[in-house]
């Protein structure tokens, strides 16, 4: 990061940050912005990428099945494989609904003037 760059938390830039099962073997994460500007800002920041997700969740790249920038909805979404199918004994989150929380505090690089 250059000296004149700052960061903002993803939670302050996105309208919706959520996670949910995508079938029985995957969990999908949606980060949705209310306007084009914040969407483009995050998309181009280099702070929300396959690499940063791997670092945040402590997973290898092969656990990520999809990483998609979805312009019509101002949304970035990615999907990860579960280690065991949803609802297996010991699965702590059978709907996959609470796995997004670490994204809230993700630092997004904001270019300086």
Partner 1 sequence: MESTKIICPNGHLGFAPLKTASFRIGVEAKPDFIACDSGSNDVGPGPLGSDTSTSPLAWQTHDLEEMLLAARELGVPMVIGSAGDTGTNSRVDLFVSIIQDIAKKHLLPKFKIGYFYSEVDKEYLRAKMQKGTPINGLDERPELTEAQLNATDRIVAMAGVHPFKVLLDQGADVIIGGRSSDSAIFAASVMSRGHSEADAYYLGKVLECASFCAEPYGGKETVLGEVKSGEVLVTAMSPEQQCTVASVAGHAMYERSNPYHEFVAGGMLDMTKCKYEQVNEKTTRISGQEFIPAEEFRVKLEGAGKTGERFIGIAGIRDPYTIENVDKVIDWAKTQVRDKFGDNGYELHYNVYGKNGVMGDLEPIKEHSSHELCIVVQAVAPTAEIAEEICMTGTRQMFYARLENVKGTAGSVSFVLDEVVQTSPAYVWTLNHTIAVEDSLELFPTHMTEGGV
Residues in touch with partner 1 (CB under 8 A):
16, 20-26, 28, 30, 32, 34, 56-59, 65-66, 68, 70, 72-75, 77, 79, 81, 83-90, 92-95, 98-99, 101-102
Please name every residue paired with 21 in a beta bridge, in sequence order, or none if there are none.
27
The least distance separating partner 1 from the CB of residue 2, rounded to whole angstroms, comes to 26
Nearer to partner 1, 49 or 86 (CB): 86
> What's the rounded Cα separation, in Å, for the pair 34 and 38?
8
> Are the beta carbons of 31 and 41 closer than 8 angstroms?
no
Tokens of 80: 């990860």
CB of 21 to partner 1, least distance (A): 5
C-alpha closest to that of 15 among 74, 96, 68, 69 = 74
- Which is nearer to partner 1, 28 or 45 (by Cβ)? 28
């Amino acid at each position: 990061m250059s000296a004149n760059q700052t960061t903002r938390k993803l939670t302050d830039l996105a309208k919706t940050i959520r996670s949910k099962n995508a079938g029985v073997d995957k969990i999908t994460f949606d980060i949705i912005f209310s306007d084009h500007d914040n969407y483009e800002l995050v998309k181009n920041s280099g702070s929300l990428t396959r690499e940063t997700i791997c670092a945040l969740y402590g997973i290898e790249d092969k656990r990520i099945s999809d990483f998609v920038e979805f312009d019509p909805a101002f949304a970035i979404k990615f999907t990860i494989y579960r280690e065991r199918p949803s609802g297996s004994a010991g699965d702590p989150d059978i709907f996959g609904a609470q796995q997004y929380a670490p994204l809230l505090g993700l630092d997004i690089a904001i270019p300086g003037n």
